[in-house]
Amino acid sequence: MEVLFNLSMFYINSSLVFISHRPLNSSIGDQTVYEQCTSMPAVLHFYLALQFVNMFLGIPANFMVLWLLYKNKSDSTTSNIFILQLAVLDTFFCLILPLELANIVHLTTSSTWYVLRFFYGVKDSSPLFLSCICLDRYMAVLHPITFTHLKDRCHRGVLAAIMWLVTLVYAIGKCVGNIVNFEKVFTVMILTAFVFMVFCNVSILFTLWQSRPGRGKVHPVKKRAFKMVLIILAIIVFNYFPPVALFPFQRYFSADVYLCYIHYIAFGFMDISSSIQPVLYLSRDKIQKPVGCC
């Protein structure tokens, strides 16, 4: 219990670094971010490479997801509305590379960070839509009767609208950058979403394991839920576990190492989800086609 308490206090006390993606005073005098990390640029290069992947892979992949959702809207699943919002959000985030590259390598002004923090705020809220997908699949598998009654209701659209409202309010607050204790919002949001998604996915996997092949025919809804939960689990582990695992050990790193290495490693893995999410969705779509033909 003492260890958990110390970790919780660490997250609250250090969440200003966690929430902002980039420090508010990220430029020192006439130095750019790249010049500050000139003695250890490897991870910064790695981060920028991931952002290039986001731009040149993430944008077309997300557009393809949007096109497939529009094309197959007559045969859509209940989670598609949240996948649609996530694709729009990721497309929006993938557009920041030119400004971010100029700001890291060339610009020393602090005004551009306001624009970038708004984009980062939008990206920070992506776990909210992933949580909505987890909740939808959780209800479909563990509470199928309730799920059937709610299937054709408009509550998913209302929930998506609420998530966008929260996202925009959060992004604007992050853009301002001087709201007292605002850094705690992201701390609570990311930890709550992470725990909630893990709980939903573990519950779904446990239920699907009990109805696995060999114990009888698996319901088609559960098959779709199994594919979806694998996608979300991959996203959670690969994209969101690194920052959760690295930030508690900030005290063991020097300021330069943390800024130029740990900071960009953690957020690099978070940001690349804008490309991984649509690619995994498209891969799932390709797998389902031959299964449907058989």
| Secondary structure (H, E, C), 179-237 | CCCCHHHHHHHHHHHHHHHHHHHHHHHHHHHHCCCCCCCCCHHHHHHHHHHHHHHHHHH
CA distance to 66, 124, 127, 153, 207, per residue, from 240 (Å): 24, 11, 9, 31, 24
- Is residue 292 over pLDDT 60? no
Q: Name the pLDDT band for 93 (thresholds 50, 70, 90).
A: very high
Question: pLDDT tens for residues 194-240?
Answer: 889 889 888 888 887 776 655 556 667 666 767 767 777 777 878 88
Q: Which two tokens stand for residue 14?
A: 């250090």
Domain at 36-293, CATH class: mainly alpha
Query: Residue 108 has what pLDDT?
Result: 67
Least confident of 27-36, 87-96, 229-238: 27-36
Q: How confident is the model at residue 8 (pLDDT cuts 50, 70, 90)?
A: very low
What number is the average pLDDT over the span 123-144? Answer: 88
| Closest by CA position to 232, among listed 151, 127, 76 | 127
User: pLDDT tens, 97-117?
Assistant: 998 888 888 876 777 888 888
- Measured between alpha carbons, how far is residue 108 from residues 18, 112, 122 in Å? 22, 9, 24
pLDDT band at 70 (very low <50, low <70, confident <90, very high): confident
Identify residue 68 by its one-letter amino acid code: L
Predicted pLDDT of residue 140: 84
Over residues 142-193, the pLDDT tens digits come to 888 888 887 777 888 899 999 999 999 999 988 887 777 776 777 778 788 8
Per-residue burial over 251-279, b if 16 or more Cβ lie within 10 Å, else e, is eeeeeeebbbbbbbbbbbbbbbbbbbbbb
pLDDT for 240-291, tens place per residue? 877 777 766 767 777 778 778 887 888 888 889 899 889 888 886 554 544 4
Q: Angle of helix 126-142 relative to helix 183-210, nearest 10 degrees? A: 30
Contact by Cβ (8 Å): 95, 139: no
Q: What is the per-residue pLDDT for 213?
A: 57
Q: What percent of the chain lies above the pLDDT cut of 90?
A: 20
Q: What is the pLDDT of residue 275?
A: 92
